[in-house]
Amino acid sequence: MSFSDAPGPATLARQVVAEGETVLWAAHGSRFVYDVARLDEKGQPRAGAVSRGLGALGRGAANVAVGLVAGIEDDPGGADLPPDVVVFGDGPDCLAHTALRDVPLAARSNWRTWALTSARLLVLDVVREPSPPRQGSLLRKTIGWGMDIVNIVTDRTKKYGENVADVPVTCPPMAVSASVDRDRISGLAVSRRRLRMRTKPCLRMSFVDGSGIDLLLGVEDESVFEWMLTLSRGDR
């Protein structure tokens, strides 16, 4: 960790937890897609859908189209990246789809956070701030630019990336986009999912109806998910 680091996902998640609620783990994951019977990867009804067999690798037999979740504002190369999370289930009324169907597939920034607490699973997104008012005349803009140049030349403030010396690091305000109570989570396990014609490790979170989510998070090291599984039990 260095002075230039941004606030971590656990720090962001602590903004929304209730008193007595503990964040067990948190991770960033900006994109997700669906692997739900009778739905396409965007979670929309599939025309002439026939239930798919999802048994080849547990719930991870589908190959996910990665170009469906492009559009992250501060990540123009996002269209070439695989999803961070895959939502699976046996049909459109499953708990996983119901919990996440109102959440955009692609977040507006890379701050989206998936967190497990002692009470629930949380999906958090940055609170959208209102657009700044339009600036005035060209003369006023020109004066403003001139002042900015002077400030840049004379500024001796130490900066570390986006962080400034002697100024508290601010966290973007987060809001809960979706949540699932712990009593509706039936289990967690380190598993594998087939993606882009290869299998990748994931942390599989299963819900009481058999649906769930596979958290891939761009991680190739299976030991990371084993560590998350340990944290999920409250062991530290």
pLDDT tens per residue across span 16-49: 999 999 999 999 999 999 999 999 999 999 876 5
Say what the pTM is. 0.74
**How far apart, in whole angstroms, are the C-alpha atoms of residue 115 and residue 175?**
12
For residue 39, which of 83, 93, 3, 107 has the smallest C-alpha distance?
93
The pLDDT-based confidence of 158 (bands split at 50, 70, 90) is low
Question: Mind listing the pLDDT tens digit for each residue in 58-74?
Answer: 454 444 444 344 333 34
Q: How far is CA 85 from the centre of its chain?
A: 8
**How far apart, in whole angstroms, are the C-alpha atoms of residue 11 and residue 178?**
18
| pLDDT on residue 109 | 85
Answer whether residue 210 shows pLDDT above 50.
yes
With 0-12 CB in 10 A as exposed, 13-18 as middle and 19+ as buried, what is 222?
middle
Question: Mind listing the pLDDT tens digit for each residue in 83-107?
Answer: 999 999 999 999 999 999 999 999 9
| pLDDT on residue 81 | 76
Answer whether residue 57 shows pLDDT above 60.
no
Place of tokens 């987060």: 174
